[in-house]
Amino acid sequence: MSKNPHDPIQLLSTPGGAPVKMWTQGVPVEPEARAQLQNTAKMPFIFKHLAVMPDVHLGKGSTIGSVIPTRGAIIPAAVGVDIGCGMIAVRTSLTAADLPDNLAGLRSAIEQAVPHGRTTARSKRDKGAWDRTPQEVDSHWARLAPRFKRLTDNYPQLLKTNNHQHLGTLGTGNHFIEVCLDEQQRVWVMLHSGSRGVGNAIGTLFIALAQKDMQRHIANLPDRDLAYFEEGSRHFDDYMAAVGWAQDFARHNREVMMSRVLAALSTVVPKPFLTQQEAVNCHHNYVQREKHFGEEVLVTRKGAVSAQKGEMGIIPGSMGAKSFIVRGLGNAESFCSCSHGAGRTMSRTAAKKRFSVEDQIRATAHVECRKDSEVIDEIPMAYKDIDAVMAAQSSLVEIVHTLRQVVCVKG
């Protein structure tokens, strides 16, 4: 129980709604995000309060950087379409001195090992990458296949998605792979990705079903993206099974890619090395049943990470900024959560308008990464100050390692 008088919670109250408790001291919060949070807080099945992380910003469906505890109902658009999106990080036994002087070869090896960007099984350009390492993918898919079969028996349209073809692929947008160094110059590999095409299709399908099921009452909701399934309904059970499967797909996807990246690393580093030391694999876009304040609740984390006492998590900064391996403090008021990153301060289009390629080159001078006009939207200046974000959540997590990127592959 958080009885810490110094816990810097900012309270946003909503007439007729649940309180909104925000860990945002010293970081900006958009008025649009506040309004969106207040809409969510009006839903009658919110358990106790919403918890808001310091990387909070307006999102599609629900606010990024929020924790939505519910009882008896679930909002599929709150989880969104990038179901199970999250981070994996592994420390290797290598140090900076073991890496080659020129990191361009390492970046290129990773780019060849992991299909990234707009990849489909049908595109000729990516044929090579798709044909590689089927055996490893198969062993992961074997664990996902039985429940996918059950899912597609009821929802056959999901058979038409990229599913096993996307296992072990990065995707686009802010999905990335990085090689980092910690404070002791030890080499880490980390990456950010989700459930790809099939998770997107599952999210889209159930968001539409919730809106359809509620169509006679949907005008009474503050936002049609707050359409929900009530516990006990068929779609509730189907959604919980489907979203849980997509989350597992995402976790396996990150594991497959991690082993591909480590294999790529071993091709450019002559020294043999150990891995799986201090491995962390965490979702930051998901829902699961948890116990809080002595009650069973559904916890939706949209751009938030579980931070139970002693639990390890990953908080990446933007390209060119620091990232953090953290340990949860088990802050009950936050439903044991922390932020999932720095949080954007401006849209991708605004960032591309505001900054130039020269700005991006300057901001990422110490990182082996792309620096062309296509990646300006990830410029560090389009994100909140990660140090301020970490300070605002010092009652939620403690920093175990501070990482700085040396190589970044952007999806």
Partner DNA sequence: ATGTAC
Catalytic residues: 340
- Taking Cα atoms as reference points, which of 326, 280, 297 lies closest to residue 51? 297
CB-nearer residue toward DNA: 194 or 317: 194
Residue 410 marked ligand-binding: yes
253 is in an annotated binding site: no
Q: Which CB sits closer to DNA, 20 or 83?
A: 83
Distance CA 25, CA 205 (A): 37
Quote the CA–CA distance of 101 and 105 in Å, as a whole number.
10
Rounded to a whole number of angstroms, the minimum distance from the CB of residue 171 to DNA is 2
Closest C-alpha to 322, from 204, 380, 402: 402
Q: How far is the CB of 81 from DNA (least distance, A)?
A: 4
Residues that bind DNA (CB under 7 A): 60, 81-82, 85, 118, 120, 160-162, 166, 171-175, 193-194, 196-197, 200-201, 204, 411
Bridging pattern class, strands 285-292 and 295-302: antiparallel
What is the C-alpha to C-alpha distance for residues 369 and 103, in angstroms, rounded to an integer?
A: 9
Least Å from the CB of residue 10 to DNA = 27
318 is in an annotated binding site: yes
The CA–CA distances, whole Å, from 282 to 24, 86, 165, 174 equal 22, 6, 22, 16
Nearer to DNA, 17 or 84 (CB): 84
Minimum Å gap between C-beta 303 and DNA is 11
Which of 319, 334, 329 is CA-nearest to residue 407? 319
Which residue is it, tokens 């798709």?
Answer: 130
Alpha-carbon distances of 315 from 7, 126, 178, 311, rounded to whole Å: 20, 31, 13, 13
Q: Which is nearer to DNA, 380 or 411 (CB)?
A: 411
The letter for the amino acid at 88 is I
Helix axes 104-113 and 234-268, enclosed angle (nearest 10): 140
Closest to DNA by CB, 61 or 320? 61
CA distance 348 to 326: 27
Smallest distance from DNA to CB 172, Å:
3
Pairing assessment for the beta strands 10-12 and 20-22 based on DSSP bridges:
antiparallel
Instruction: Round to whole Å and give the CA distance between 300 and 14.
Output: 20
Q: Where are the alpha helices (DSSP H) in 87-230?
A: 104-113, 127-131, 134-154, 196-213
Angle CA 70–74–80, to nearest 5: 115
Q: Binding residue per annotation — 346?
A: no
Known binding residue 230? Answer is: no
Q: Does 340 count as an annotated binding residue? A: yes
Return the structure tokens found at 21: 């408790």
Task: Pick between residue 64 and residue 386 the one whose CB is nearest to DNA.
Answer: 64
Is 323 flagged in the annotation as binding?
yes
- Shortest distance in whole angstroms from residue 210 CB to DNA: 16
Q: Binding site membership: which residues? A: 82, 174-178, 192, 284-285, 316-319, 323, 340-343, 410
Q: Binding site membership for Mn(2+): which residues? A: 82, 175, 192, 284
